[in-house]
């Protein structure tokens, strides 16, 4: 796969390279990659996340399975009492007000079992690394157990917890995704942004 020389390569970190087979494009958002993978024409493309970009133009890429763009991932923070869970929920929502999360996400405060509450933050799986970093950078802490991943989201939905409160988070979104028409019209370009 041959990639173009990029001006200001650091602005591409966190974006994606899409290998169309006969050429590659650099600078797609996660939403744009998902749109391409859902299309009949580009559904077999290969995807790489730009993990690091160096001043000399080198890119460190990480392959991303196409299935990841169809999954939700999440972080789940458990507590034994409702008051603690409500405080954890409020702290997470306040974090999103102070520092916007890297992507859209939903936050639930739920009664998970008779003696367990959970604060769940659920988001598109392709943003797993960024959400983890956002929580760490924002110093979000809880006293109880925590777990995460796509499988945990599945188990959470299957358990059908009683949702006591919910909140929608909107991502910082420096790179605005294009419409499907704009995206498909630009697939021949080597540099997308």
Q: Sheet containing 24-28: which strands, arranged edge to edge?
A: 24-28, 16-19, 46-53, 59-64
What's the pLDDT at 10? 87
Most distant pair of Cα atoms in the chain: their distance: 57
Strands (E), 40-127: 46-53, 59-64, 72-79, 105-113, 116-124
Task: Show pLDDT as tens, one digit a residue, over the chain (193 residues).
Answer: 888 888 888 889 889 999 999 999 999 998 899 999 998 899 999 999 998 888 888 899 999 999 888 899 999 999 999 999 999 999 999 999 999 999 899 999 999 887 899 999 999 998 998 999 999 999 999 989 999 999 999 999 999 999 999 999 988 765 677 888 888 888 888 888 8
What's the pLDDT at 173? 60
CA dihedral 148, 155, 15, 91 (to 10 degrees): -50
Residue 67 has, within 13 A of its CA and on its CB side, a CA count of: 1
Question: What domains lie within the chain, and their CATH numbers?
Answer: 9-68 (no CATH), 71-169 (3.30.70.1710)
CA–CA dist 102, 129 (Å, integer): 10
CA–CA dist 128, 146 (Å, integer): 15
| The two structure tokens encoding residue 119 | 């604060």
Q: Which residues pair with 16 in a beta bridge?
A: 28, 49
CA–CA dist 24, 189 (Å, integer): 8
What's the pLDDT at 175? 67
CA–CA dist 111, 133 (Å, integer): 27
């Amino acid at each position: 796969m041959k990639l173009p020389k990029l001006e200001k390569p650091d602005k591409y970190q966190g974006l994606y390279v899409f290998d169309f087979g006969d050429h590659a494009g650099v600078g797609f958002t996660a939403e744009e990659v998902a749109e391409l993978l859902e299309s009949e024409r580009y559904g077999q493309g290969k995807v790489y996340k730009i993990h690091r970009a160096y001043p000399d133009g080198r890119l460190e890429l990480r392959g991303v399975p196409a299935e990841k763009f169809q999954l939700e991932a999440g972080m789940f923070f458990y507590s034994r009492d409702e008051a603690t869970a409500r405080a954890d929920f409020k702290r997470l929502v306040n974090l999103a007000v102070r520092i916007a999360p890297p992507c859209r996400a939903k936050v639930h405060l739920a009664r998970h079992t008779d003696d367990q509450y959970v604060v769940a933050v659920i988001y598109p799986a392709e943003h797993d690394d960024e959400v983890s970093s956002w929580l760490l950078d924002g110093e979000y802490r809880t006293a109880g157990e925590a777990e995460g991943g796509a499988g945990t989201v599945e188990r959470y939905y299957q358990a059908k917890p009683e949702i006591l409160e919910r909140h929608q988070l909107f991502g910082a979104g420096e790179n605005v995704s294009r419409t499907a028409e704009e995206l498909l019209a630009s697939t021949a370009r080597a540099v997308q942004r």
